[in-house]
Chain A
Amino acid sequence: MTRVAVLKGGRSLERQVSLASGARVEDALERLGHDVAAIDVGGDLVAQLRRSEASVAFVALHGRGGEDGTVQELLEVLEIPYTGSGVHACMRCFDKVLTKYALREGGLPTPDWVSLSEIGFQDLGAADVLGGIAERLRFPLVVKPVSQGSSLGVKHAPTAAELPAALVGALSYGARVLLEHHIEGRELAVSLLARGDGDSDVEALPIVEALPRGPEYDFAARYEIGETDFVCPAELDDDVADRVREIALSAWRLMGARGFARVDMILGADGPTVLEVNPIPGLTETSLLPQAADAAGVSFDQVVERVLAEALAR
């Protein structure tokens, strides 16, 4: 039996999702016979961690603070082992621009992009190059906050007319945005899970395809049961499925991820391309990693156990 602190909630905009992920993790840990200290992350986190006397932390946080390396850094200082990716990997995954540079430099496909900041627009005249950027990337464009999960603030700009409002909307979530060419195609997610048997080996779980019922895979579709149809394993030709899994594993290694992660991709006319790497994938009832694990015959409890084992084996 291990004393495990489950870190959940926090102050990010994805607080509710994190509370749901955390609650499921607590249940699983209890069923596995561990001693659980649930911590809703706030200003007293350090005091709570000390009081909990936990020997390991399960980080079930999503969004800013929890998924961007901040909590991980703190846990390093406190010398408490924790689940999932380390500080640097979290920072690189949470910042979509750093992710894309890493992917491109590693030779993995990712849609063309440009990133811009509010300061660039306000102080450096970046608006004057918007036309050129849009021309280079080609419409339709997707505008995303650079550091925000769960598709919050993701805007579509089919033409130049929608671009300014899309930028204002996305910049509400953070000071930097990513403009990306929107690739038409099938939405795929590959969840990766440590084997948890001592070495750092990782398993690519069956590919999930998301088929949203609405026009796009937005926040509501992501968390509401029945808003999106999921197919797992996705119906793909073997060679395509192999390629998708291979790219996901390469992305995992490039980013230096650990424990678990989810690589989101679009399968377009030119093959699969990576959109992002989530260092702490959602663990709610509607989340993709638990579904993919289930399809592979890995129960939710086993997912939690393997992620925990990987953390303790470091």
Chain B
Amino acid sequence: MTERRPTRGAAHELERYAGLFSARTRVMRSSAMRDLMAVTVRPEVISLAGGLPDTSTFDPALFVQLMSEMAPAAALQYGPSEGLEGVREAIALVMAAEDMHVDPDEVIVTTGGQQAIDLVTKTLVDPGDVVIAEAPTYPGAVPTFCSYEADVIQIEMDSDGMIIASLEETLARLDAQGRRPKFIYTIPNFQNPAGVTMSLERRRRLVEIARERELLVLEDNPYGMLRFEGEGLPTLRTIEGPTGAPGENDFVIYAGTMSKILSPGVRVGWLVAPRPLLAKLVLGKQSTDLCSSTLAQHFVAAYFASTDWRPYVESLCDLYHRRRDVILDALAENLPPEATWTRPHGGLFIWVTLPDYIDTTDMLARALADNVAFVPGEAAFADGRGRHSMRLNFSSSSDEDIREGVRRIGKIIAEQLALYDTLTGRRRQPPAAPVVVAEPEIEAPAPAAADDGEGMAHILQLPRRGAMGGRRSREA
């Protein structure tokens, strides 16, 4: 019954340890949210919290075949820091599918996309340096930026992605302070957590700004292949250097991953960067882990060598497309008119924003009592914002669980809104008759949300449901 655990020393004096911790651990924070999230792994909890792709449809026979094809001696050995040749070639193939031309020599294999973010930050950021990110940004990037003591400045978004005018204002303000961001971090496609996609016009302008100001952009594109609606847009890398010829890409660092098109378990991601930077990134990687798992890389190389990888991605897109529709219907049916949410054309996530008097971290405590979970919005900010938003994942739960999970969340939100209205003596408007509006081609930005009183409103200005034409399946 007793678990084996190395016996800890008797050193229980807090201050003895406290004196040893590096300054950067001060910003590596624990939070109530993290502890609440630990409860979401209970089997009875419907979790719309994870960022998990659905790996259940991967062919088990193919898995066995690939494992048996691997040469044991090589697979069990160290490998080059830059990654195995076969994997870098596979990466070039995947990038070509998104119209990017890359020489395998320009690619470094990383241990997941997470290490790509970590290496770039490690290589570029000194304590106090500015990193620009989107508001909200990838929750996994926040602790990385914080652990290198970056000063993270987050730029507002709307349904067309990062608002470039706000970016320019921020850059001008930083200029006036004599500060220069080390890089701009963006997820242009089906952003995590917001689910929105940067428009073509904004992509072009972002690349122009990078060139004019000689600023590096880290383009993180884990979800680009997971488009199930609309036309694909060129990546920032392609916009900067359409042919991929050497010297064409000076300012865009590109990060990709196998996590969403093959498996997050293989922990294979990559970076493509201007050559001088590439050399430093490799040094950074050597100090972290020498090389990414050779075993996993052999698996990836074998997969790309022996099968056409695209049908599997297409099957995932079909699956996520259906689940996206299920969750949008469920949201339209169950969320009150005060809630707004995004309508992703791909990827895994939807971002829901509630009135500013609802705290989603607190709400998670209540949701867990009802066995449902989501990611509270504060995880996507380095500065405490986001507390009235939440991220919902639709890729890893069954249709039935998505419906039931959203129903439970909707009920809790309705209860909290009713309670707030009771407390403030406001009378709630009776629910408006459901209206079905044709879905507009382009989602118009909504009027600004009410200010939260701290000058930090407008987390993500997005269309209200009426304007968006969110469908209600419960008509009549």
Residue positions of A touching B, CB distance < 8 A: 11, 13-17, 23-24, 26-27, 30-31, 36-39, 48, 51-52, 118, 121-122, 127-128, 130, 152-153, 163-165, 167-173, 218-220, 223-227, 230, 285-286, 290-291, 294, 299-301
Contacts and interface: CB of A to CB of B under 8 A. Distances in A.
A77 to B, nearest CB: 22
Contacts of B363: 172
A163 B424 CA distance: 9
A120 B423 CA distance: 11
B365 A224 contact: no
Contacts of A122: 418-419, 422
B42 A230 contact: no
B418 A30 contact: no
Interface string B1-21: 111010110101111011001
A172 B422 contact: no
Interface stretch (B26-34, B185-193, B203-211): B26-34
A173 B366 contact: yes
Most buried by B among A27, A163, A218: A27
B38 interface: yes
Interface of B: 1-3, 5, 7-8, 10, 12-15, 17-18, 21, 25-26, 29-32, 34-36, 38-39, 42, 357-359, 362-366, 368, 416, 418-420, 422-425
B120 to A, nearest CB: 27
Contact of A13 (B3, B12, B39): B39
A16 B423 contact: no
Most buried by A among B1, B3, B31: B1
A225 B29 CA distance: 10
B365 A152 contact: yes
A33 to B, nearest CB: 13
A226 B26 contact: yes
A225 B418 contact: no
Given A27-B8, A121-B422, A299-B12, A226 B2 contact: no
A299 B425 CA distance: 55
A218 B361 CA distance: 14
B1 A285 contact: no
A283 to B, nearest CB: 10
Contacts of A48: 1
Contacts of A24: 8
Most buried by B among A30, A170, A172: A172
A168 B29 contact: no
A253 B7 CA distance: 36
Contacts of A128: 425
Contact of A226 (B25, B362, B424): B25
Contact of B1 (A37, A165, A172): A37
B365 A173 contact: yes
B12 A300 contact: yes
Contact of B3 (A38, A130, A224): A38
A220 B17 CA distance: 17
B301 to A, nearest CB: 39
